[in-house]
């Protein structure tokens, strides 16, 4: 009957809107990148693909240098704009097959699909250079220089799981910071 069909349509429509809401909650509202909640799923998938197809992939862990100073000196709204600018840089300088995440605070993760360590390092260096070459424009003819420290880790035999891969990328990022910031370090 028509009434039953209408009820079924309403039910399907409700399910659709609930599903859209769940998908929307998977992106960071400030940067429109994926949030870290989906990172384990993506990494698990890439690990499985790597094992079955012998494909390479790598992770970049990106941390904005001196971000706290930007927030403290210029305010959180300016800090938010800096994060949005970096997210935009990542979006425009990675491939559609790569995964971009806001990891938390001023940290980002990029999962580079189908690359080896050298290719990942070249991509990371390109991203680092673009971030450093693109100051954040403030409304009063003031600019803020942005730089990033980037750790690169390729999935390999030394990794037991996604956690160990991220740990290596994190250690590489901290090595880049300790070496003077605004640089890329390969794990």
Tracing tokens 């491939």 back to the chain, one arrives at 95
Query: How much of the chain exceeds pLDDT 90, in percent?
Result: 72
Give the separation between CA 123 and CA 127, rounded to whole angstroms.
6
**pTM: predicted TM-score of the whole model, two decimal places:** 0.85
Examine the residue annotation and report whether 77 is marked as an active-site residue of this protein.
no
Beta strands in 4-124 (DSSP E): 34-35, 57-64, 99-104, 107-113
Beta carbons of 123 and 39 less than 8 angstroms apart: no
Closest CA to 83 of 31, 27, 34, 143: 31
Catalytic pick among 46, 106, 107, 125: 106
Percentages helix, strand, coil for the chain, rounded to the nearest 5?
55, 20, 25
pLDDT classification of 10: cutoffs 50, 70, 90: low
71-102: pLDDT as tens digits? 999 999 999 999 999 999 999 999 999 999 99
- What local confidence, expressed as pLDDT, does residue 19 receive? 55
What span, in angstroms and rounded, lies between the C-alpha atoms of 123 and 65? 19
């Amino acid at each position: 009957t028509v009434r039953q069909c209408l009820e079924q349509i309403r039910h399907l429509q409700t399910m659709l809107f609930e599903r859209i809401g769940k998908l929307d909650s998977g992106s960071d509202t400030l940067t429109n990148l994926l949030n870290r909640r989906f990172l384990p799923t993506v990494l698990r998938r890439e690990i499985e693909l790597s094992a079955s197809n012998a494909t390479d992939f790598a992770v970049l862990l990106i941390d904005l240098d001196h971000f706290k100073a930007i927030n403290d000196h210029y305010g959180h709204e300016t800090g938010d704009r800096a994060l949005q600018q970096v997210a935009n840089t990542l979006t425009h300088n990675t491939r559609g097959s790569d995964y971009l995440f806001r990891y938390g605070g001023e940290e980002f993760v990029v999962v580079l699909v189908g690359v080896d360590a050298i290719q990942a390092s070249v991509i990371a260096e390109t991203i680092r250079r673009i971030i450093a070459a693109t100051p954040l424009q403030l409304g009063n003819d003031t600019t803020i220089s942005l730089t990033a420290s980037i750790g690169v880790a390729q999935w390999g035999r030394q990794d037991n799981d996604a956690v160990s891969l991220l740990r290596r990328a994190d250690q590489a990022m901290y090595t880049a910071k300790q070496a003077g910031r605004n640089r890329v370090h390969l794990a």
